[in-house]
Amino acid sequence: MDWRYLGGRSSVAPKIFWIIANDGSRIGMCSLIFRSYWVNGKTDNYAVMGDISLDSEYRGKGFGKRLFEFVNSVIDGESVPCALVIPTDAAKKSLISSGWEIKEHLIALAFLLNPYAKIYKKIRNHFISNLLKYLYQKFIWLIIDCQTLKGFKVETVDGIDESFEKFWNLFRKDNQIIEDRNIETLKWRYLNHPTGRFKIVKIFYNTNLTGFIIYREINNTCFIYEFMTLDNKKVRQVLFSFIQNLLMESQQIEVIRITLNKNHPYFKAIRKAGFFIRGKETNLLIHVPVAGSVMNSYRWFVTSGDKDI
């Protein structure tokens, strides 16, 4: 909780909302934690809602809606430019009924790297499973070889140095809404995380840092939390450079997963790279004090890194 509420840099203190029963006990809560977002090249403090909870015996009785309506009144009264949340299905219903709107659909995408376990589960034959795995990975290498990867280099690093700050300064922020990814934010979110252990990869093109990926390995799955590049035309090359490196380094990783909004600037390129939709979509909901906000003019850039984890 200290990491989430106090660790990130913000000029606005978090707000915590409680539902208090007649006997004085606390039966539900939610919070707004303010994060720095860039909106068409200018920074603003957006309120990210989290820790939504309600004791089970009080669910389905309208308490969630009343809580969110009270939160809305605070957002409107204090002229918070935007509040956003990636909620559970149960919380989503109450949020929508209280006036929040679905702004983006978040899609989970997957790339199968090692199909052995899935094949063996169906046919129960080690030899055939290994043969099909070999043929599948040969096919992946063929796809990668068809890309123009000359000049790309992948480097796994231990920390987040000043080159990430330079990268962020060069990254174009016009015509989109993106959470701050400066060096301080990246260090807090990934290096100072209390439980998660993340791996960091830099991708160079002709000696220049052109992209980076931050990911986590859990149960033979690579979960990508951050994927950024300075050149949107090189999304597939950057991604294939990472996949190629992962194939050479580990035979344990079976699948690569990434979640991002459907209108994300990289979404179509990642789909064309062979990532398929996997699992149920979630939603990004927002509440803004002023209808017809200027935010409607810009594209959102949302990944798993936008959700405090």
Average pLDDT for residues 155-161, to the nearest whole number? 95
Query: Bigger pLDDT: 145 or 80?
Result: 80
Query: What pLDDT does residue 295 have?
Result: 66
DSSP state at residue 179: E
pTM of the complete model: 0.90
Residue in 47, 35, 31, 15 with CA at minimum distance from that of residue 91? 31
Q: What is the distance between the alpha carbons of residues 299 and 230, in angstroms, rounded to a whole number?
A: 16
Give the separation between CA 20 and CA 28, rounded to whole angstroms.
Answer: 7
Summarised one tens digit per residue, pLDDT across range 283-299 is: 999 999 876 565 677 89
> Does this chain's domain 2-105 share its CATH topology with 108-280+294-306?
yes
Determine the pLDDT at residue 231.
Answer: 94
Pure H helices in 28-152: 63-77, 89-97, 116-123, 126-145
Name the least confident of 95-109, 136-150, 189-203. 136-150
What confidence score (pLDDT) does residue 294 get?
59
Q: Are 261 and 104 in contact (CB under 8 A)?
A: yes
Is 90's pLDDT higher than 90? no
Query: Domain 108-280+294-306 is in which class?
Result: alpha beta
pLDDT tens digit string along 95-135? 999 999 999 999 999 998 877 677 767 888 888 877 887 78
Q: What is the pLDDT of residue 10?
A: 82
The domain limits of the chain are: 2-105, 108-280+294-306
pLDDT, residue 179, reads: 95
Mean pLDDT of 222-227: 96
User: Which pLDDT belongs to residue 188?
Assistant: 94
Phi, psi of 6 (to 5 degrees): -115, -15
What gap in Å lies between CA 199 and CA 219, rounded to an integer? Answer: 15
Residue 6 burial by CB count (10 A; 0-12/13-18/19+): exposed, middle or buried?
exposed
Average pLDDT, rounded, for the chain: 90
pLDDT tens, 43-61?
A: 999 999 999 999 999 888 8
CATH code: domain 2-105 is: 3.40.630.30
Residue 195 φ then ψ, to 5°: -130, -35
What phi-psi label fits residue 134: left (phi over 0), alpha (psi between -120 and 50 degrees) or beta? alpha
Q: Sign (positive/negative) of CA torsion 144, 258, 171, 184?
A: negative
